[in-house]
Structure 1
Amino acid sequence: MLKCCFRLFSISFLGSCFLRNLVLKMISLSLSLFLLCVSQLFLFSMSFVGFAKAFQGSYMKSSITQIERRFDIPSSFIGVIDGSFEIGNLLVIAFVSYFGAKMHRPRLIGAGCLIMALGSFLTALPHFFQGLYKYETTISHSSEANGTETILPCLNNESRPQGDDLPSAETQTECEKVAGSSLWVYVFLGNMLRGFGETPVMPLGLSYLDDFAKKENTAFYLVTILGPMFGFMLGSFCAKLYVDIGAVDLDTITINHKDSRWVGAWWLGFLLTGAVMLLAGIPFWFLPRSLPKQEKNTSCTTVLLMLSIDHIFWFSADFLPSLRRLFSNTIYLLIILTNLVQVNGFIGLITFKPKFIEQTYGQSQSKAIFMIGILNLPAVALGIITGGFVMKRFKLNVLGAAKICIAASFFSFCLLLSQYFVHCGNIHVAGLTVSYQGEPEVSYQEQSLLSQCNSGCSCSLKHWDPVCSNNGLTYASPCLAGCQSSTGVGKELVYQNCTCVGDAHLPAANRSAVLGQCPHQDSCDHMFKIYMGLSVLGAFISACGATPGYVILLRSIQPDLKSLSLGMQTLIARTLGGIPPPIYFGALIDGTCLKWGVKRCGGRGAYGTVYLFLLLLFKIIHCDHWFSIIWFSQ
């Protein structure tokens, strides 16, 4: 009996142990699966946020020209608006760097996404307050008995209203109210708000990945690379849509997306990018504050140091001695200056390149933005990857990395220099770039727009309302072309009996002009293709030096100063490389304009773009600095 009881007890005990172990294993397996799912969810969410952030930022870059025209502000001022993102970022980065790691990081990232989404919505808000866009035009309308309209371009002194060039003091206030000229403040604040929200996303997100995720984080970087491409593609699409789409009859609009007065639906893209960012931030509100650590990811730590100033010098007792040691390193100082020059050139180039392509090669804003998105940006990403592959494949030291950098800088300089010889020249504008007889004669004087052929008209000399005549000349307005009548409506409008077009003895039908400026010569499209080829190749070669440059920085600094060195580099690049370039590049564009238009309220609008010289100057300084780095590295 006792033996039987003992056997039953043993069986029951062993069974309970087995069940307990089984339950523990199931719990352990479930916990592991849960942690894996959370880790993968966080990785997916960070990838989506990285994409959304790049998508949002690149769309802002692609919309600069549209915003400039819509709010009637010069290029130098649009640079201030563009730099407000960095201003907002720098205002709160110290706070986030110090307190972020002590708080619920996923929820802080979610809050940052929400703020960035609100920033995008705030940027688009002025569109709904401004009213309809009124582009610059000089034509007058005369209603006929049958309800049709006849355009009267050339009016004599008696029939033209006085004060046509500048609005009177009494109407100035009302004009500014209609134009909504001060509503650019919403764009400025919206972009700054995006800078606030972006601050915790990358540092805290990458540190969370570094703490809890495994090595398969490649997807994060690959998805992030796609963001700028999609941002510029969206910018291209919105630039083709009229700004007041859905609110006006597009058949009555007399300009198209190739016209310099055209404003695309810039606001639409901000609504879309804001919605994407809002969606990207939702998962972070449901993630745990922390997870048990898994395998360490060194590469993520390196990237974190490059993107954040976390754990650098705030509240650090040995900050000043460390800073003194850091800036006594000659190679580090040269790398900082070199990086600063490179960032200045890149920011200035990417901000105003669509405008440069539009003015130099006669391409539409939509096409210019699209070409940058699908060609230049992928070339930059491929160049960065190629530079890293070469460094790893040949196991290059600091001197070898410096040689790659100087070679990349020199060859990209040569390709940029060659772009000076690939241009189309100015379009033939009567009284501006050629005489009324078609002879080359560049003039900056408004009076040169007048001629004997249009002396019978009382024409405004300040407006830009170009027409293209059948003799291949562009006239600043139909009035200055001496056009007496017109047929058709909207984009089909044709001006007839233009006294400045051709011989006065020709029939009126042979002295006509159509809306818009004349296209560039036939070879311009070919020149544009060559330019884009040189530009893409130059972007790839220049980007090949990015990874070797970071390697030089990391290997030239004492191990205990690496975090400080990378943080200071990021801080200096964002402060002096992210804010000033759009401003002084824009001032250069304004200063080299050949013909200024007139705003609705009597101000000036910008139409000129020449900035290759400044880019070449940056490249020369960049090459010189790398020569100095090689000298001190030997």
Structure 2
Amino acid sequence: MNGSTQPDMDGPSDGGSATTRQRTKDEMCCCCICFHPRCLQPLASLTLFIINVCLLLCFSAAALAVFEGLVTTIETRYQLSAAEIGLSASMFTAGTAVSTVIVTHFGGRPTSRRPIWIGLGGLCLALGAALHALPQFVLSPYQPPSSVFLGSSSDTNSSEFISGLCNSDAGIGTGDDSSCEAEDREILRDNNVAYIIIVIGQIVLGVGYGPLVPLTLAYVDDNATRGTTGLASGILESMFGLGAIIGFQIASAVVGLWVDFYRVDAATVSGLTPHDHGWVGAWWLGMLIEAVIFFVLALPMFGFPMRIPGARKDKDAKRVEEIDLGGNDGDEIVKTSALKDLKEWPRSVWRLLKNLVFLLACLSFVTEGALVYSLAAFFPKYMQVQFGLDVFSANLIAGFAFVPPWAIGALIGGIIVKKLGPHIQGSAAMGLVSGVLACSFTVVLIFIGCDNPPIAGVTVGYHGYDLDPNLSLESACNTDCLCPVDTAYAPQCGSDGVTYFSPCHAGCTQIPGNKTYTGCSCLMPDDPATTPSDVMVTPTPSALTFGLCPYTCTNVVAFIVLMVLWAITLSSATSPRIIIIVSSVHPSDKSLALGISRVLMLLIGSLPFPFLYGACIDSACLVWQTLCGERGSCSIYDIVQFRRTIYALTAALIAVQCLAFAAIWLIARMRAKQNTQGKNANGEMAGTEAAGKDGAKMSPPNGSQNEGYANEEGTFM
């Protein structure tokens, strides 16, 4: 196309073939294939490239936050346990690890067009987000269990509504497998299919996310002046915090819509409102919005050239000329370099494996990955279960009480490290102090929360009697009601201040109005239940009404303050950890060391621990929802055990991190003493020569000569 490219991209007029000139156009002009219109060439800008990638990263974090913020909704919709949710979150890490290794290898080659690989990653993100929403459109609409149907005052005689009441003459079965209806079996099958699709969606999301950061930094380094790569890295990292905040707010917005709002009326189907316990919001809408955004942001990446015209480093200009005009010489150079790197790679890995300080630093990386990915996955759920908050409030707190403090702590840690200097011993000491403080806050958090609210047959006995040690929802007052064992949790608040599992379990036989029940044989006389000192119960007057008995936990503010301090102190160890790694390995192994530490963090920390945290949460479940005899989501938790289990595991992980930093500090201190003693024994002159020799070997940071560092073999001195 005549005049379709910039003049300086055409190559020399008297040298080079037409093929060479066309290859130069494809590599350095905006757009793709043979289409290079002049009007689009100003868009071949490194600034626009970074902005586009930043948006991709921002909404990648937002997609994760949307999923995490709606965990309880997804559990209720598809009857999933916390362990299953944790496993799906782990699959995102698995996809990230695989794509990071494979895509960065092929996309990281000097002759590779990195923006195209990043664009493919964006399309994978779009596909993964769309897969999350797919079950909503290919499976049957959500059918709320009959026990949570409210209807309206005009339809209180419907069979669905009456089925939630005590009816001793109905002959209701016990809910075993033999009584499982075909409709219930279909729902169970749909739930299993939906979970498989969601897991696949998480894997695809991880595959798309994996290459974004490494390939972006490589592309920036190829095309920017010295120092720009570090700035770009900081900008990219900041997108995660911003994206998480956006994602939690998206989750809060979409949950206000009924899950099937576009095809049914929530008021007609269930009579529920967003503030009711059985409400299931349109969680899929957030992922669908993310899919559209990812698709739009991915398309421009295919138009960016291999190299930005006029923005690449001077030292790369000669390299471009050699490859473009030198026939196969450039390819031979690349092949020779790659072969040399391949032969050197096992030796580099072996050097790192012999480096005890590096391995200890990796251990601290693993614990950080386990904590961040696991707690982030269940933090909004914890707020809802522990303090009785709705989804909107929980996501609002999660967005501002966890993410910004983490970013602030990382910034504080970087400033302190810069002031103190890049010393291994000093960095280890700072990491140890931050870990001890974070562990202390974690121990305090074990005791900051609420006790279990009074729920008849679960946390308190019926009629004020002692709780049955076998934890049975049945009592003399509701035995004749023959309540099905698979009755969904539909909490009802009695005038006695006690919450009942369902109208049937409260022995209610009449419905005088919407959300009101009478004739309840299990309600205590007008004698309010006693509750713990930190729970203030407001008895509901007259009749049994739908919903949990209102209670306010006075420890919410204290919890938020402690979580902010916890996030700041724990994240302040991020910079010291990186300083330890780069200062303890051979200079040629720094990039490999950082890469290995990240892979270990993903595979050992981020991959298994979300599932482990989910299993710990499930261990605190008191009552499970069942369908056709199979266990679904948890209906009622022991919130005291929930809190203690989660933070005990968290404290244990932080303690391991503290031990790793303490060991690094001791090793660095011992090596520093040995170096000092060696200098004193050999005399001032010998010491000076030895210092000069070691400095030539390693070029350690200023002020670090006396504390030890990696020698040429990679072992810590």
Change (3 A) 1:537 1:241: farther
C-alpha RMSD of matched pairs (Å): 3.1
Q: 1:566 to 1:68 in 2, by over 3 A?
A: same
Are 1:476 and 2:484 an aligned pair?
A: no
The residue aligned with 2:157 is 149
Alignment of 1:363-374 (within 5 A): 363-374=389-400
Which residue does 1:95 correspond to in 2?
A: 102
With 462-471 and 597-606 compared, the bigger mean Cα shift is at 597-606
Provide, for residues 56-81 of structure 1, a one-character-per-residue CA deviation record: whole Å limited to 9, x for no partner.
23323323332222221222122221
Cα gap change, 1:147/1:176 in structure 2, threshold over 3 Å: closer, same or farther? closer
Q: 1-side partners of 2:199 and 2:663: how far apart?
A: 40
- Distance apart, 1:515 and its partner CA: 0.8
Q: In structure 2, what is the Cα distance between the partners aligned to 1:600 and 1:134? A: 15
**Number of aligned residues:** 579
Q: Aligned to 1:604, what secondary structure does the other structure show?
A: strand
Q: 1:574 matched to which residue of 2?
A: 602
Task: Give 1:166 shift.
Answer: 4.4
TM-score of the aligned structures, taking structure 1 as reference length: 0.84
- Please give the alpha-carbon distance, in whole angstroms, between the structure 2 residues aligned to 1:514 and 1:629: 60
**Which range moves more in the overlay, 453-462 or 469-478?**
453-462
**CA contact under 8 A between 2:401 and 2:563: conserved in structure 1?**
no
More deviation, 161-170/88-97 = 161-170
Partner of 2:460: 434
Query: Please, which of 210, 233, 236 is the counterpart of residue 252 of structure 2?
Result: 236
Q: Partners in 2 of 1:411 and 1:94 — Cα distance?
A: 35
What is the rounded CA distance, in whole Å, between the counterparts of 2:259 and 2:339 in structure 1?
Answer: 47
Instruction: Give the AA of the match of 1:632.
Output: I
Q: 1:258 to 1:535 in 2, by over 3 A?
A: farther
SS at match of 2:342: coil
Higher alpha-carbon deviation: 594-603 or 387-396: 594-603
Match in the other structure for 2:361: 335
- Single out whichever of 210-219 and 609-618 deviates more from structure 2: 210-219
Q: Give the number of the structure with larger relative contact order, counting CA–CA contacts within 8 Å between residues 6 or more apart.
A: 1
Q: 1:217-232, aligned counterparts within 5 Å? A: 217=232, 219-232=235-248
Q: Does 1:123 align with 2:132?
A: yes
**What residue is the counterpart of 1:113 in the other structure?**
122
Q: Are the counterparts in 2 of residues 54 and 227 from structure 1 also a CA contact under 8 Å?
A: yes
Counterparts of 1:500 and 1:181, CA distance in 2:
37
- Could you tell me which residue of structure 2 aligns to residue 71 of structure 1? 78
CA distance in 2, matches of 1:275, 1:149: 44
- Aligned residues of 2:150 and 2:272 also touching (Cα < 8 A): no
The answer (yes or no) to whether the contact 2:92–2:206 under 8 Å persists in 1 is yes
Which residue among 503, 519, 532 is the counterpart of 2:525? 503
Mapping of 1:384-533 within 5 angstroms?
384-438=410-464, 441=466, 443=468, 445-447=470-472, 449-463=473-487, 464-489=489-514, 493-503=515-525, 512-520=543-551, 522=552, 524=553, 526-533=554-561
**Residue 6 of structure 1: aligned partner:** none
The corresponding residue for 2:321 is none
Match of 2:300 among 280, 283, 286: 283
Contact 1:313–1:564 (CA<8 Å) still a contact in 2?
A: no
Match of 2:9 in 1: none
Deviations 1:440-464 (A, max 9, x none): x5556243x2233324422234432
Contact 2:184 2:627 in 1 (8 A): no
- Listed one character per residue, the Cα deviations across residues 413-452 of structure 1 (whole Å, up to 9, x for unaligned) are 111111122111111011211122336x5556243x2233
1:381 Cα offset (Å): 0.8
> Equivalent residues in 2 for 1:551-630 (5 A)?
551-599=579-627, 602-607=630-635, 608=637, 609-610=642-643, 611-630=646-665
Q: Which amino acid aligns with 2:261?
A: I
1:171 aligns to 2:171 (yes or no): no
Distance between the aligned counterparts of 1:232 and 1:37, measured in 2? Answer: 34
Q: SS of the residue aligned with 1:483?
A: coil
Partner of 1:495: helix, strand, or coil?
A: strand
Single out whichever of 229-238 and 600-609 deviates more from structure 2.
Answer: 600-609
Question: Residues 91 and 181 (structure 1 numbering): CA distance in 2 closer, same or farther, change over 3 Å?
Answer: same
Q: CA deviation at 1:41?
A: 1.7
One-letter code aligned to 1:451 = S
In structure 2, relative to structure 1, the CA distance for the partners of 1:155 and 1:140 (3 Å cut) is: farther
Change (3 A) 1:402 1:177: closer
Residues 140 and 446 (structure 1), Cα distance of their counterparts in 2 relative to 1, 3 Å cut: farther
Q: Which letter does structure 2 place at the counterpart of 1:183? A: A
Aligned-partner SS, 1:406: helix
What residue number does 1:14 align with? none
CA distance in structure 2 between the partners assigned to 1:280 and 1:396 by the alignment: 39
Distance apart, 1:38 and its partner CA: 1.4
- Counterpart of 2:388 in structure 1 is 362
Give the direction of change, closer, same or farther, for the CA distance of 1:443–1:386 in structure 2 (3 Å limit): farther
| Equivalent AA in structure 1 for residue 131 of structure 2 | L
Change (3 A) 1:75 1:142: closer
**Match among 563, 570, 574 for residue 546 of structure 1:** 574
Tell me: CA distance 1:568–1:369, structure 2 relative to 1, closer, same or farther (3 Å).
same
* Pairing of 1:255-334 with structure 2 (within 5 A): 255-291=272-308, 292=310, 294=312, 316-334=342-360
Superposition deviation, residue 633 in structure 1: 1.3
CA–CA distance in 2 between the matches of 1:157 and 1:405? 64
- Do the aligned partners of 1:402 and 1:626 also contact (CA within 8 Å) in 2? yes
In 2, Cα distance between equivalents of 1:359 and 1:312? 54
User: Mean Cα displacement is larger for which, 416-425 or 197-206?
Assistant: 197-206
Q: Distance in 1 between matches of 2:277 and 2:603?
A: 33
User: Which is worse superposed, 369-378 or 196-205?
Assistant: 196-205
Cα gap change, 1:219 to 1:450, in 2 (>3 Å): closer
Q: Which amino acid aligns with 1:406?
A: L
Gaps of 5+ in 2: 1-37, 316-336, 528-539, 670-717
Equivalence for 2:692: none
**1:117 offset after TM fit, Å?**
0.6
Whether the 8 Å CA contact 1:312–1:563 is kept in 2: the answer is: no
Distance 1:323 1:275 in 2: 41
Quick one: structure 1 residues 582 and 231, their matched pair in 2 at CA, closer, same or farther if it must change by over 3 Å? same
- On the 8 A contact 1:347/1:578 being kept in 2, the answer is yes
**Structure 2 CA distance for partners of 1:255 and 1:589, relative to 1, 3 Å:** farther
Q: How far apart in 2 are the matches of 1:534 and 1:238? A: 29
More deviation, 121-130/57-66: 57-66
1:93 Cα shift? 2.9
Deviation at 1:105, TM superposition (A): 1.1
Give yes or no for contact 1:73–1:605 (8 Å, CA) kept in 2.
Answer: yes
CA apart distance, 1:230: 0.5
SS of 2:404's partner is: helix
The verdict on how the C-alpha distance between 1:272 and 1:68 changes in structure 2, with shifts beyond 3 A counting, is: same
**8 A contact 1:113–1:281 mirrored in 2:** yes
Name structure 1 gaps, 5 residues minimum. 1-30, 298-310
Distance in 1 (CA, whole Å) between partners of 2:436 and 2:167 is 60
**1:346-385 CA distance string (max 9 Å, x none):** 2221111222211111111222122111221011011111
